[in-house]
Structure 1
């Protein structure tokens, strides 16, 4: 997203924040963007930005209320009054995790042209938190990497309560990437929240 912003004319300060050193090493190939290792909760920016985003369903990695609260507090502190926080999370009603099983293998090519396979296997679903393992392998099945992850699926009411508590007002909400409303069939909860 930051690369896209720069390539489409943004001339101001752009900062990327990520706890993954390998991802940052790849990102730092782009020197016209400031790259910071860490998490939202670990930052100490004060009223420095007009917009903060979390992409790739990263918000779901905040699995406890305390995780959400500390991240939202830091994001709000980093924004100027009236600044926006935009993010997406999978809608729990869609039960996306039910398709995360080894029979749902996807083949892809990585950034250096290497053919790979990816599949997931859910271990547990409890209190809105889904724990699963993602496996990356060569096309012949030789495993290269296993990652165990937990994601939280928040419903709209809980999400809005946490945002309000942190001093945000929901400015816009969408249920898909075409700006459709959140409906019983929505796969996503896409939120733009304003620092009050």
Structure 2
């Protein structure tokens, strides 16, 4: 058996939150530390907020995620508010200085109605002038072309099991990519297959959605070192402000 709880623990092992090692984590960590109150949408296992609290953040921290197994791990720290729900549930009555959607989770908002509802909810949760930080993979980089079974990761999980992990793109329809993530034993016996759909938005389309929701783009970067978006950028990193 490979349970949802196993998958959540494996996520933390494969994706450790470490601002000292990963520039993307450092980007969000700096924003969170500077904000008096933070809403982390798609918080997963809560690692970003855990670290902020451990490093002395004294303001209100709230994590929102639809996955109960991930939230069960997040709730190991009880001095943070954890809420089960989707981005569209991000209500807060203008209570937050900062909202974040790290880890490319913004791309999980696939259809127009879902994206509009989510942006409207985040807008409602932020105070006037509050900031909204997130990133998407730039479609020009065609990241999905590297998601294939030849790119295998071998590791040992916290239960001592030797595992193999890989991703495989199933389809590309318009700006939506469907792919699977497979967890198997070292011998190749499949334990779990997770299917995900991601939307790859251009800057122009993204900014139209943001403007319609009442946001203005305050800053835009093409890499985690703060460089501009260019014809070679792999990321679209956005820091928006609530109007």
- Structures share a fold, TM > 0.5? yes
Question: Runs (4+) of structure 1 moved beyond 6 Å?
Answer: none
Instruction: Tell me whether 1:135 sits opposite 2:185 in the alignment.
Output: no
Instruction: Tell me whether 1:63 sits opposite 2:110 in the alignment.
Output: yes
Distance 1:147 1:10, change over 3 A: same
Distance 1:13 1:127, change over 3 A: same
Deviation at 1:43, TM superposition (A): 3.3
The correspondence for 1:36, drawn from 80, 83, 105, is: 83
Partner of 2:3: none
Q: Distance in 1 between matches of 2:160 and 2:237?
A: 32
Q: Deviations over 1:115-169 (max 9, x none)?
A: 3221111111011000111101122212111011110000100001100110001
- TM-score, length of structure 2 as denominator length: 0.78
Deviation at 1:112, TM superposition (A): 4.7
Partner of 1:102: 149
Deviation at 1:100, TM superposition (A): 0.3
SS at match of 1:157: helix
SS at match of 1:75: helix
The correspondence for 1:15, drawn from 42, 62, 80, is: 62
Q: Distance in 2 between matches of 1:99 and 1:20?
A: 27
Q: Distance in 2 between matches of 1:15 and 1:124?
A: 35
Partner of 1:147: 194
Q: Distance in 1 between matches of 2:111 and 2:199?
A: 8
Kindly tell me the number of residue pairs found equivalent between the two proteins: 196
Distance 1:135 1:79, change over 3 A: same
Q: Deviations over 1:90-119 (max 9, x none)?
A: 000000000000111112344555432211
Indicate the structure whose relative CO is greater, using CA pairs within 8 Å and at least 6 residues apart.
Answer: 1
Q: Could you say which structure has the higher strand fraction?
A: 1
Q: Distance in 2 between matches of 1:93 and 1:112?
A: 39
Distance 1:12 1:113, change over 3 A: farther
- TM-score, length of structure 1 as denominator length: 0.96
Q: Write out aligned runs for 1:1-196 (5 A).
A: 1-196=48-243
